[in-house]
Amino acid sequence: MADINARLLRINGTDVSNICEYTVEYNKLWKDAERNMMGDVRASLIGIFPKIVVKTTVQEVSNVMSLGALLNTDFFSVQFYDIISNSVKTANYYASDFKTKLRRRKNSLIDEIEFSLVPLSRSV
């Protein structure tokens, strides 16, 4: 059993800190999904693909650069806290598009960064 107060997220062995929102979406992927004339669904469930959505605050520009370097690689290993199973899981992911926003140039103040991590294969 995992401790919910422990680390929530690691990307390629690097802790993602200052997380202010953490969401796991349990997305279902279907094959050959269709409705017949009666309106009944016929489909085969391929699996559950847990997408992770994170919003993090950034204290320093160097943290943005290191997080950006992690997210801008093609595929990477992710250790994440799975809310439903109350355990830590490891899987291969990629990052969707994300953006950074400079709030105040003089102080190098950067707004929160929100990004999504999308699994390469179904849930383990």
CATH code (residue 24) = 2.40.30
CA pair distance 108, 60, nearest whole angstrom:
8
Is 1 part of a structural domain of the chain?
Answer: no
Q: Which residue has the tokens 């107060």?
A: 5
Residues 93-119 have pLDDT tens digits of 999 988 877 766 666 667 778 899 999
Angle (CA) 41-23-5 rounded to 5° is 135
**Both tokens of residue 39?**
């309106």
Give yes or no for a contact between 80 and 52, defined as CB atoms under 8 angstroms apart.
yes
Average pLDDT over the chain, rounded to an integer: 84
Is pLDDT at 2 greater than 60 in this prediction? no
Is 48 part of a structural domain of the chain?
Answer: yes
Residue 59 is part of which domain span? 9-119
- Give the chain's domain count: 1
For the segment 29-54, the average pLDDT, to the nearest whole number, is: 89
Residue 92 pLDDT: 97
Longest dimension (CA), the chain: 63
Is 111 part of a structural domain of the chain?
Answer: yes
Strand duo 102-104 + 109-110: pairing:
antiparallel
